[in-house]
């Protein structure tokens, strides 16, 4: 059963919403299931509400860096985000995207520094909190990962990737099937129409019901 989840979770990161390569830049260390955490499961900050604070030239500069990142050219993207930050150091999304690139390069130390820089600007910035959770998960700090993901969905209830990551964390690492089910269902409510996630939800519903029946018999 676990091996199936390894495959399924990785598949989600490569397909759902086009999130991984289209906007995040997927990294993989091949070490764990559901690696929403391998850089993938991270949704980079495309231009958000803060874009109103940027000049048209700055916004173009940022969007071009995101596009380069989406193409898989992480070296060029890294240079572009660093150049952007020299001029606009207060834009947290650029720090998050650098963190994702560093994870892709298996450089967790620099990734954490980039996340810290984003959170210093905005402690409730959901993409940074999501990335913080993934870094903790990569290093086996599951409760710290949970806390970061939960803070992300508290700050931004519709931040789908954090719900997905909470589903993976609860199912495969914390063995809390009921909570995993809740977060995958919430993810599906936000995203909608993901057939693979729907299969996971069906499977989790079956397993939760079986667990409840076993508990009732034991009583």
pLDDT digits (tens, 9 = 90+) for 1-57: 333 343 334 333 322 323 332 233 222 333 333 444 433 466 666 777 777 788 899
Token couple for 120: 């210093």
Average pLDDT of the chain is: 82
Sign of the Cα pseudo-torsion (25, 66, 98, 82, in order)? positive
Token couple for 136: 């903790």
Which domains are seen in the chain, by residue range?
2-218 (1.25.40.10)
How far apart are the C-alpha atoms of 7 and 139, rounded to whole Å?
Answer: 20
Rounded mean pLDDT, 95-100 = 96
Contacts of 70 (CB under 8 A, 6+ apart): 21, 22, 23, 25
Stated pTM of the model: 0.80
């Amino acid at each position: 059963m676990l091996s199936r989840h390894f495959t399924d979770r990785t598949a989600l990161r490569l397909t759902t919403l086009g999130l991984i390569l289209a906007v995040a830049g997927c990294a993989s260390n091949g070490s764990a299931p559901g690696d929403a955490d391998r850089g993938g499961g991270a949704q980079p900050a495309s231009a958000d509400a803060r874009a109103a604070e940027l000049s048209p030239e700055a916004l173009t500069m940022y969007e071009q860096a995101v596009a380069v990142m989406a193409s898989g050219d992480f070296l060029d993207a890294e240079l572009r985000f660093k150049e952007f930050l020299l001029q606009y150091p207060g834009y947290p999304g650029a720090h998050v995207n650098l963190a994702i690139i560093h994870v892709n390069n298996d450089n967790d130390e620099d990734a954490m520094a980039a996340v810290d820089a984003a959170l210093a600007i905005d402690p409730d910035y959901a993409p940074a909190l999501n990335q913080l959770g993934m870094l903790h998960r990569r290093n086996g700090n599951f409760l710290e990962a949970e806390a970061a993901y939960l803070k992300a969905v508290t700050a931004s209830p519709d931040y789908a990737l954090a719900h997905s990551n909470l589903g993976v964390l609860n199912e495969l690492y914390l063995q809390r099937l009921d909570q995993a089910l809740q977060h995958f269902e919430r993810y599906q409510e936000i995203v909608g129409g993901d057939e693979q996630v729907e299969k996971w939800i069906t499977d989790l519903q079956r397993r939760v019901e079986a667990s409840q029946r076993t508990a009732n018999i034991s009583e």
